[in-house]
Structures are given as C-alpha cells and as structure tokens.
Chain A
Amino acid sequence: MEHTELQLPENIVPVPAGAYPNVSHWLEESIWGHRLWHRQTPWLVFLEMLNVADGHAAGGTPFGTSLHFEKDHVRSRKRLLLRHLLYRNAELTLLASKQRPDGELWEAWSKYFAQQLDDDAKIDVAFLRIRFPRFRDFAATIKLLRDTTVYPSNAIGETSSERRWTSTFVFPFGAAALYVDLDESFSRDATRFGRTGDILYQMLARSKYAAELKPIFQAFLNSDRQLNKLVAKLEDPASEEWNGGDRESSYLPYRRHAAYDRLAEDWLHIHRLNLAGYDAYQHYVNLAAFHLILYHLETAAAWAKWPQVRFFCEVLAPRMEAVRRLSIESFQANEGATLQALNAGWERILSSSEFLQMEAEARDLPEEDRVAEMRDFIHERMALPADDYLGCSTTSELKARIWESLESKADDNLGLLHRAYGRACGLVSRRGARLYRYAPTDSFLKTIVLATVERRMELREFLQTIFTRYHLVFGPNEANAARGSADFDASVFEKNARRLEERLKSMGMLNRLSDGVAFVENPNPSI
C-alpha cells in the first residue's frame, strides 16, 4: 500500500466522538490508534493479545471472524487460585523438602496456604490432594511452572522491587494459563496490559492472511497440550469464570496497512518451521515488537510525508565509523517522526475547510468568543479536558497551548516507543557506544533470518530482501540505494556486511563457499 492510500477516508475506521471517555487530546490516537503504550514490554503485548484472543473466542467471535471495525467488549479471567498457588506460596518448597509422611505435608501446607489466600479468593483446595497423589509432585509442578514466569521485568523504568505478584504471569502454555493484570485489590489494571496487545490482535485480524493465521490462534489457546493440562491440574472450576471484567476493545485506525500483512506473513513463516515446543513464541514476540515499530514509523512517515523509512544498522564495529554515525543519525531522525506526524495531524485540522469556515464565521466576534468557538471546534474533534485552556485570551495562545499539551503527551509515551520497543526486540542498542542506534543483537538477527529465509538464500539477496521488506540497511548496495548518492566511503558498508557475515556464520546461519559466495541458511528449516 502506498503512503498516500493510507490516509484516504475509505481506509479509516470511523470512531465516534467520545468513544473513549478517559482519553483527551485525541490526536495521536487518530493517527496510530488507542493505543501504543511504550511501557508495555513485547512479552506483555503478546500476553495481552492472547487474552484478547481468548476473550473474543469465548464471546463468539474467534480470531478470523471479525475485522473489528466496530467497538465491542472483550471479557477476561482472573484465575485467582492459580496465581495464589504460583506466587503466594513461597513456603511450599521448604515443606516439600521435609522428610515427613505425605498426609502430614498436605495438612501443614493447607494450613499455611489458607492464610496466604486473600479474602476475595477463599477457595477450597482439597481437590488438589486428589489430583496429585504425592505431595512432591504437587510441589514440583508448582516449582516448574513458576520457573517459566514471564516477568514484566525490563519494563521501561521499572525495577524488580516494583513488581507485584498480581502482575506476574506464568508462561502462556495454553488457555488455562491466561489471565489479566490486576492491582493488589484484584481490580483490573491497565499499566501492564496497556491495550497494545489488542492493537496487535486487530492488526493480525485485518491482515490479508487472517484465514491462514487461524491455526496459529487455535494452537495458542489449545487446551490439549501437555503443559496446558499440567496448569489446568491446578485450577478449580471457578477459574473458568469470565470474572476479570469486560473491557472495551481498542481502536486501530486503518482498515488496511502494509505493516499488518508483513507481520502476518512473518508469523506464518515462523509457524511453518514447526519449531520444537514453544520456541516459536520468542520469535512471535520479537516480530510483534519489530512490526509495531514498523507500523508506528511507517504511519508517522506517511503523515509527515517522508519519502522513505530507513534503519542504518551497525554490526558492532571496533570504532566509530560512518556506519555508526549514520546509524545514530537515522535513529534520531526516526525518533523524531512521532512529533512530525503529530504536527502534520495538527496542521491538517487547522487548515481544514471546516476550521477555516469556523474562523471566518467568528471573525467579527470579540476575541474571547473567538477563543471559545475555536475551543469548541477542537474539542469536538480531539476531546479536550473540560477545565483546560479556559484561561487563554487569544486564539494563537490557545493553539500554542494545545500544541504544547499534544507535545507533552507524546513526550510521555509515544515519543518513547521507538526506543523502548527497539531495545526490547534487539534492534536498538547502545552497546559499545554512548548513543542509541540500530545495532541489532544476535537474537534479533536470528528472528529475522527465521522469518525471511525459508531454507537458504544468497547473502546478497538476503541483504536486498531485508532492505526492501524492513528498511534495514547493512550492505553497500543498500546504503547507496538508501542515500541516493554515495557521499561516504562504500567500503565501510562492505566491512559492515562482512561483519554481519561473520556474525551469522558464528551463529550457524551462514554457509560460505569459496570465493565470496555465502548462503544465509535457516538453522531450523521446516521438517
């Protein structure tokens, strides 16, 4: 899809004014949706997405049956007993290590656990003794599952001490392991599940490949998998209740977007590799974060009318070279895209015929009334908070202050997204240098190879492919194409590509023949 098609009215999903009463300054939402949340780590995005998928499936619209153009509600589960067993059960290990008869251990544990259970979660746990003939099996199950916890750690700005047990998630083995984020009083909370998971879900649902993706979603929620069964063993009947409350679905503005299709394609590529166990999930997660970056940046570029998007990538070089400089520059430029797009959106409102008409009609009114007229006009489109901007005495002051608020809203969230998601998926790093830039990690490279190379691809073609597909610039040809002219020494990109070759080789993903031919190879080709 071309840049310009993106913003055509027929590609926009209309959203009724005030659809989300808690949101004010509805401008970035109209550009990227409600919402991309920078503090949500990729794993939390993925977990939220699974919960959304589960909720929709239970609500009668499983994945692939709706394009989600209408706002609706998604239900969720709390699974309080499971969470208590996993995360409020510290003395279990100690008890299990005691050489006592089984009956005695169960007694002692039941007493201990009764105190651990919060008032809101008084549940009879006698059924566990029937399901686990030996106490040590029970204890081992808990320990093994707890070891798979997906910590919301490395959440941006969060330290381990801020972790709360109600925001701790066991690995999503299947539907039985899914539950929502809660605060300490067991109410639904939005800090970890900040809606980006729903955005991800809708992107996939609107992609060209929604039908092909269905089996993936079925597998996500599959309750027959061995480990899902193991989790289910710890659950009481109440855990099946949809007691987590309903939440309105999120808003994704575009009916179609190239980023949706590419994301879906990549997930399908990973799926087809039939990786062992849950190994594919790590790649789904990395790709989700990366494609959210692409969605965010490509959308911004369309609004800001950039001719192209580029990520100059440095394969860790021993010193500052042109590659690093370009990489830093392109990172900084891309980080600035949010504000440029917002500005374009803001200017679009201010230069719209309706706005000009309103201004013309109000021309003869006193300044005070003109401010009020303008405020009302903008409020209708952007939902301004009730008490804000009342003190503005001129229309230009009003415009300046609203723009200030838009800017500061972006500074607090969306402006940080590129960096946060980039680091989380391994595209962005500060390794070996002071400034952030595109310096992909091995894990990122591996995901990209698995997603792009079915079996084998010549290195040159690989570089070309990831350039056209993801805007990633590694080699000299791509650097020339990206820069239009070679105003730098092309040999630095040759060296960069050679370093990439070395890295891929050491990771077992490159087969070099004699004399400069190398094949990038998928280390886990589908079997």
Chain B
Amino acid sequence: MYHEEIEERAESLGIELVTFVHPALARIKQHFSPVEGRLTNLVLTGTAGDGKTRILYDYWRELHGPEEVLANRPKHAALTATVNGVPQQLHFIFDLSKCLPEKGEAWNPDGLALLEAWVNALLAKSAVIFVVAANDGKLLQALRSLKTTREGSAADVVEGEIEDMLASRRAKSGLLSLALLDLSEIGSAETFDRAYKAVLSRPEWACFETDGNDPAFCVHSPLRRNWEILRRPQFQQRLHTLIELCDVNGFHISVRDLLAMIVNGLLGHPKAADRVLTLDEIRQFATPGENLRGSIHRNIFGENLKEEKRQDFLVFSYFNYFRVGLETANGLDELLLFGRELPQLEKIYERLVADPTGFDAINPAFEALRRDYLEAEAFDDARRDEFLAELAQQRRRLFFRIPENEPTFDPWQLTIFQYAGRFLATILHPLKRGELPGAATIETLVRGLNRVWSGMLFDEGHKLYLTSGLDFTSARISRLALHAVPVIESLSGEHIEIALNSRGQPELLVYLLSESPIAYRLDLMRFEFLVRVADGALPNSFSRECYEDVINFKSILLAKVQSMMAKREVKNFKYLSSDAAGRPSEETINL
C-alpha cells in the first residue's frame, strides 16, 4: 500500500498514524536540509516500502507546501518556498515511476518536459531544485528512454553518471548537482528499533489492563500472549540481532516489511481467514489450545501465511535463510527433551525453558509428543514427523530465550551459522562500539585464508601468503609464494585490519604494497567458512560457492601484486612447504 493511501485510511478510521523518525533523515540532512538553508537536487531511491514518498511529503510540509495539493495525490508538483529568506522554486516528483509512459507507449509532452527540466537542473542549467523519489530501475529507464526519444539530449551524461553512482553506491557527483541517496543503504536494525518502539509505545495497548474481560484482550488471547513476548527485552534483543545480521549479509529489509513482520508477529494465525486475525477471530481463538498455533515464534517467520503471500515480503525469506530451529546441537536438544527430568539440567531448564508467567508456556502438544517419544513404543512415522516439527518450534522458542551471554548454550547453534555468536562478539559489536577487533580474530581469518589459498593445512596466522599454483592462481594446491602480507603493520605499511564500510558492514582490509586497501566484505557465510577452515575443516567440504569466492579474492590481490612486479626481472622462484610444526617454510630455487 502506498503512503498516500495509508494517510487516508488512517484518517477515515480515526487512528493516529504509526510514526517515527526515519533513520535516513540524518544522512539526507548532510546534503539537503531546507530549514538550515541547505539545498541541492535530491534523489531518493530504495526498495519499495522504504519510505521515499513519505519523506517527500514531510519535506513538502516542512516547506509549508499547501496541504490541498497533497490531498489530490499528485505525481509531481511545483512549489515556491522561502529558503534563507529568499523565494526558491522547487519541484517535487513524488514517484518517478508514475510519471513515465506505460510500457510500449510513447512519452506525452508534459512528461517529457518535466524530465528535461529535471535533467537541466541536475546539470546546474536551471535554478529549480528537484526533489525526487524513484526506484533505481525506473530512474535508469527514464533517463535512457529520454536519451533515445530526444537525440542529443543531455540525458546521456546524466544517465552514465547516475548509473555509476548507483552501482558504486556514491551519494555525490563531480558532474551533477545532485545528492543521490539509496534508502536501502540504511541499516534495517536501526529502523527496526524505531518501528518497534513506535508500535509498542502506543497508548492503545492499555486495552489489556482496561478491557481484560473482553476475550480479545484476556490472558488467553493470542494477541495478548504475543504482545507479552514481543515486549520482553530478551526477545526484542534477539530479533534486533537477527536483523543486524541480515544487514551484514546485504539483506536489506524495508520499513514496510519491518512493520508487516511486527504486525504479523502479533496477529498471525494459520486458522484466521486472511491468516491474520480480526478482532472477532482473536476472541474466537482465545483458548489455550488455539492461541499457540498463532505463536509469535512462528509468525515472525511468516509461517502462518500462504506461500504466495509470504513471498511478497522479503523479510520472511531473509529470516528463513537462517533456518532457525531446523539446525541444532546435541546439548540443546537434550535440554529440550530431558531437561525437565534430569537433575543436572534442572536449574538451567528452569531458567531457559520454563516460563513462570504463563505467557510463553511450552506447547502442551509438545509435552505430550515428548512423553510419547520417550516412553511409547508405538511411535509411527506420522507421529514422528509431528514430533520433529514441534521440536523445531520449541527450538525456535528457545532461540529467542537464550540470552547473549549465556555460558553453556549458544543460541546460534540453532541456526546454520554456528559461529554467528563469535562473529557478533568479536567483530560486529566491537566495531559498532568503535573498537578494533582483536588480533586473534584477524589471525583466525588469516589462517583460514592461508589454508584455502594454499590448499595446505598450514598453521599460520601472522602472515597472509599470496600463493599461486604454477599454472593457475586458483590451483587447489598453490605452492608458489608470490608475496606475504603481515597482520601487524610492517615498515612499508602493509598490514591487515577489519573495519566497517559505509553501509555498516565489516570488511577485511588488506593493505598491499602501499596501495589503498583491498576490501573483502565479511558476511556471515564467509566468516563461517573461514573460521571452520581455520579450525580444521577441509576447504571444499563446506560450500563450493564460498570456496570460489575466497579464491577469487586471492586472484584480485595477486593481479595487483603482479602488475606492480611486472617490470622486475625474476631471478628466483619461491615455493612453500610445510615444516614439522605445520608452519609454512619458504624454499628458493635460483633461475
């Protein structure tokens, strides 16, 4: 649903809009801030549902644009406002895609004139300031089609430059008078925190106190149950971390999806007609047996929704990528299955699994299945499947209950990223606090890289060996030692570090031959792979994709090394072998 429609809908229902300050505003403000007298052409791009149009509406109002104009839901509108005490002409394009001709149709003259005026503004040939919301595809398409429709048009320059800005994620341009900001660059975790607060701080939640007699708000109400869980700091914390990790992996979640995920978490139910509860349905399902089917642990992953509907929201496919509850470790399953009875687990079971409040109670169905599994002899396939499915749900529940610093159990073992906890504790969180990750962490990664790159089980984490096969740089066994980069800075400035990039993602930076560093983004998959290899797993046992990806990074470094050494005469030839302690030793053959 578009923002324009939401405003109308809220008004007709007499409900206040859910509002919060978009985290992008701080970044936009650096380039564009009418109240501070800072103006430039602005283009906001991003995924559908990122809030582009909403932000434009806010600017319109900030500039005292007439409300009646907005009421007609214009595609674009001109505005003369006073900025810095002088009148300034502005033009708002609220949604560029709506200003383009339909597929196969020709431009209408108005549309063409609008686009040309915009291109002129970008090239600083006019004094009008354009404020535009567009998605990336339409943006390029518009310029391209303008280019072909009007031969010799300046759209050519603009198109090339904007394409490059998009692809290299650049906000400013040397050629154009423009700030181009992609709202998808904004960390979803921060947006989530704001959206979460905006939803949970609504005064309407008082209904659980004031209308407790209404089944919809009583203790058995599925909504009440889910709300009680959602507002627990532990739950919010884990959800936040999950989204943080999505950001690290490059999975951007739009504002719309975040809100949908929260709402679905509260109101999802597989038996509801639309899979999301109406008030009447809440009343209908407010029983201990029914309310659990719509449990927030399931809803967060979109389990209540039909497949096609679930696919409409990327957030669910991103969350499901972690396979929470489908992965496990023996210790955790033991806790779930035997924790209640085994004396040595009893205490921890009380702390992590049992829930004295009753709002996050263990599903009685699981209890029955568990007992049957442990005792009953007749445990047929159907029952077994049911048991395993319910066990997975209990693992999901547990995933949200184990605190970050829990000594015995690691919640991330319930996901495919077994080392995610380590990633958070040693890399992401220190970096976000402004601290550098410890040398031990870099050394682990370097050890992993050395093993993958050389194909030999070296125990070397102080130096990164740039190795090659005699034939291919990607040879499984690469003995040729072309260069080595120390982790700790050498006299020539070569070293390795980990830092955050502009999107808040950690990167391994290799400072090579006094050039600017070569970056390798450390997403969860790459981290997991390198740490597993460093810990002894074989490089090709994990994932071919990852393997190729890590090898390609080596090729890029080697190409750099080679281009710098091309002029030198080669007098000898160095190759690596493993010494008795498993460390690499360099041997030289003179040519």
Contact = CB atoms under 8 A, between A and B. Distances in A.
Interface of A: 132-133, 137, 140-141, 144-145, 147-148, 171, 173, 226-227, 229-230, 233, 274-279, 281-282, 442, 456, 458, 506-508, 511, 513-517, 519, 521, 523-524, 527
Contact of B136 (A133, A508, A517): A517
A281 B475 CA distance: 13
A456 B167 contact: yes
Contacts of B138: 515
B68 interface: no
A279 B473 contact: yes
A147 B548 contact: no
B182 interface: yes
Contacts of B167: 456, 511, 513, 519, 521
Contacts of B548: 442, 507-508
B503 to A, nearest CB: 13
26 contacts: A140-B589, A141-B589, A147-B477, A148-B470, A227-B470, A230-B573, A275-B559, A276-B468, A276-B555, A277-B469, A277-B472, A278-B471, A278-B472, A279-B472, A279-B474, A279-B555, A507-B545, A507-B548, A508-B552, A513-B167, A514-B136, A515-B48, A516-B137, A517-B137, A523-B552, A524-B555
Nearest to A229: B591
A137 B559 contact: no
Given A276-B559, A527-B560, A140 B46 contact: no
Contacts of A147: 469-470, 477
Interface in B577-591: 587, 589-591
Contacts, number: 119
B589 A137 contact: yes
A524 B477 contact: no
B140 A517 contact: yes
A515 B48 CA distance: 7
Contacts of B474: 279
Contact of A514 (B47, B475, B545): B47
A282 B472 CA distance: 8
Given A282-B472, A513-B166, A524-B555, A277 B562 contact: yes
A514 B559 contact: no
A276 B47 contact: no
B575 interface: yes
B257 to A, nearest CB: 12
Interface of B: 45-48, 50, 135-138, 140, 163, 166-167, 182-184, 252, 468-475, 477, 479, 545, 548-549, 552, 555-556, 558-563, 570, 573, 575, 587, 589-591
A42 to B, nearest CB: 15
A507 B477 contact: no
Given A140-B575, A514-B47, 7 more contacts: A148-B471, A226-B570, A274-B563, A276-B562, A513-B136, A513-B184, A517-B137
A148 B469 contact: yes
Contacts of B475: 148
Nearest to B550: A508
B299 to A, nearest CB: 26
B182 A514 contact: yes
Contacts of B477: 147
A514 B589 contact: no
Given A140-B575, A514-B135, A458 B140 contact: yes
Contact of B563 (A137, A148, A527): A527
Given A456-B167, A514-B50, A507 B137 contact: no
Nearest to B135: A515
Nearest to B561: A276
A150 to B, nearest CB: 8
Contacts of A507: 545, 548-549
Nearest to B140: A517
A279 B480 CA distance: 14
- B472, B479, B545, B548 pick with most chain A CB within 10 angstroms: B472
Which 4 A-B residue pairings sit nearest by Cβ, starting from the closest?
A515-B135, A276-B558, A514-B47, A517-B137
B168 to A, nearest CB: 9
